[in-house]
Amino acid sequence: MSPGEHDARPDVATVASLLREPGLPPPESRILLSHVLGWPRTQLITRDREPLAPETLAVYRALHARRVAGEPIAYLTGSREFFGLTLTVSPSVLIPRPETELLVELALARLEGRRAPRVLDLGTGSGAIALAIAHSRPDAQVTALDRSPDALDVARENARQLGLADRVTFLASDWYAALPANEAPFDIIVSNPPYIVSGDAHLSQGDLRFEPIDALTDHSDGLAALRAIVAGAPSRLLPNGWLLCEHGYHQAAEVRALCLATGFADVASDRDLAGIERTTGGRRV
Ligand code: GLN
């Protein structure tokens, strides 16, 4: 057999032959191949006729089958990009969403002009929001809470990998419960809490089936976590400090009402790239 022909041998798997197999869209197969082989995307092109080792092939086939069964790509590769940072993720944490980058941008805008701001992130999960803010504001001190010890392990590991561990303090806490009473007040409180209504059909579809249920729903009307977060915020904020929460596509008016009833000023919602009111916040007077 001459070089170049081995691609046609049915018994030898190559990147090219695997990408021709049915089952997954080629971009997803490429992500898995790049992960399994440890090759950057360019090498998937330049080395696409190289015979693959049987062990490598077996690992790829196993991940491929799990993806076909619906597992999110981020759990299969163990990482996800968020706000330009590579975060480790596991099934203990919600996979960071692109729309949550809006919350980070809005928080950073509200911190402009404040020196050495103190930031509180409630329900930090992978640490995405806390770490993105800490990375963008090298003078910020961030406290990040989560009720789940497994999520905090992931968040701490991310802080370490990103070299941010000295400026982000992690705490196991059910919202504000474990925050010391004498903790200095914050410039901003941010949160992407569980806000999906109990029993919502989305919980049993797509990626959400594999994500931690407690990070997605409050097992109630979708506003239970948001109520607790808004109610506890004024006593933890500096005067003129901000509260900023992500919420569901249909919840903006209700969260604005909660903020107004709690005495916040400048209460407003912002739209994500899809045009959906995705965050709501206000200023403590
Ligand atoms: N944005 C997520 C989704 O709808 C939900 C995240 C959350 O509940 N905080 O897929």
- From first to last of its 285 residues, the chain has per-residue pLDDT tens of 444 444 456 678 999 999 999 999 999 999 999 999 999 999 999 999 999 999 999 999 999 999 999 999 999 999 999 999 999 999 999 999 999 999 999 999 999 999 999 999 999 999 999 999 999 999 999 999 999 999 999 999 999 999 999 999 999 999 999 999 999 999 999 999 999 999 999 999 999 999 999 999 999 999 999 999 999 999 999 999 999 999 999 999 999 999 999 999 999 999 999 999 999 999 999
**Residue among 99, 100, 122, 216 to mutate when testing ligand 1 (max atoms within 8 A of CB):** 216
In the chain, the amino acid numbered 273 is L
Ordered domains of the chain (ranges, CATH): 5-69 (no CATH), 83-283 (3.40.50.150)
Does residue 6 line the site of ligand 1, with CB under 6 A?
no
> What's this model's pTM, rounded to 2 decimal places?
0.93
What whole-number distance in Å separates Cα of residue 246 and Cα of residue 252? Answer: 9
Write out the binding residues for S-adenosyl-L-methionine.
123-127, 146, 175, 192
Tell me, in angstroms, the distance from the centre of ligand 1 to residue 220's CA: 15
CA 281 and chain centroid, separation = 20
Tell me, in angstroms, the distance from the centre of ligand 1 to residue 3's CA: 51
- Spell out the residues 6+ positions from residue 185 whose beta carbon is closer than 8 angstroms to its own: 118, 236, 237, 238, 241
Q: b vs e for 233-251, b when ≥16 Cβ sit within 10 Å of the residue's Cβ?
A: bbebbeeebbbbbbbbeeb
Tell me, in angstroms, the distance from the centre of ligand 1 to residue 195's CA: 7
Tell me, in angstroms, the distance from the centre of ligand 1 to residue 256's CA: 19
SS3 at position 164: coil
What whole-number distance in Å separates Cα of residue 174 and Cα of residue 171? Answer: 10
Which H or E element spans position 122?
Answer: strand 118-122
Does residue 219 line the site of ligand 1, with CB under 6 A?
no
pLDDT at 71: 97
Tell me, in angstroms, the distance from the centre of ligand 1 to residue 72's CA: 14
Q: Are the C-beta atoms of 229 and 179 separated by less than 8 Å?
A: no
What whole-number distance in Å separates Cα of residue 199 and Cα of residue 201? Answer: 6
pLDDT at 11: 72
Q: Where are the alpha helices (DSSP H) in the chain?
A: 15-20, 26-37, 41-46, 54-68, 73-77, 100-111, 128-136, 149-161, 213-216, 224-232, 252-261
Does residue 194 line the site of ligand 1, with CB under 6 A?
yes
What whole-number distance in Å separates Cα of residue 243 and Cα of residue 95? Answer: 23
In this structure, the residue with its CA closest to atom 2 of ligand 1 is 216
In this structure, the residue with its CA closest to atom 5 of ligand 1 is 216
Does residue 192 line the site of ligand 1, with CB under 6 A?
yes
Q: Ligand 1, residue 123: give the atom nearest the CA.
A: 9
**Residue among 95, 97, 209, 245 to mutate when testing ligand 1 (max atoms within 8 A of CB):** 97
Does residue 196 line the site of ligand 1, with CB under 6 A?
yes
Tell me, in angstroms, the distance from the centre of ligand 1 to residue 44's CA: 33
Tell me, in angstroms, the distance from the centre of ligand 1 to residue 198's CA: 12
